[in-house]
Amino acid sequence: MAHMETHPIIAFYNHKAFMEYALEAARQSPPQADKFCVGASLVDAETGQILSTGYSLELPGDRPGDPGRTHAEHCCFIKIANQYGVAEEQIGDVLPPNTVLYTTMEPCNSRLSGNRSCVDRIIGLNGAIKTVYVGIQEPDTFIVANSGRNRLEKAGIQVVFVEGLQDRILEVAMAGHEK
């Protein structure tokens, strides 16, 4: 049996509290100059139950020899896949009907590493995730003008910015970057 993470139950309307929880995950990401420290949580919007969390570089990547340039959202998906013993592309079949994603930073639309983008992964779940709650837009540090939000919205996925934590999220995200 796979190890089950335990998470607090948060009232579903409390978007700020879910974003705070994702920010706590982001703090666990190792600071590096060549990436952002991002945290994410998959949440059952009906119950407020946190289904999985992840942070940048938490887990090994898809490809053999990939040391784990995994993004926070991808780590959430890997954990659900492992928990249910399904391929990552199949997690839409096991997620609750109203699953939403909280991520401290707008999901990436392209990857310098050649890995599949988080936007592609979310869209690839065929509507299993209908809303993505975002803390901040991606700074132009690596990918200029990330258009992840536009692609998600074109695919029928709502993107909602959660106000009030931007400064703290940015501070954590930029850990390891020169000031």
| Residues designated catalytic | 73
Q: C-alpha angle with apex 118: 49 to 47, nearest 5 degrees?
A: 10
Q: What are 177's strand-pairing partners?
A: none
Q: Do residues 131 and 158 touch, judged by C-beta distance below 8 A?
A: yes
| Cα distances (angstroms) measured from residue 98 to each of 9, 25, 139 | 16, 22, 29
In whole angstroms, what is the distance from residue 37 CA to residue 50 CA?
20
Per DSSP, 89 falls in state G
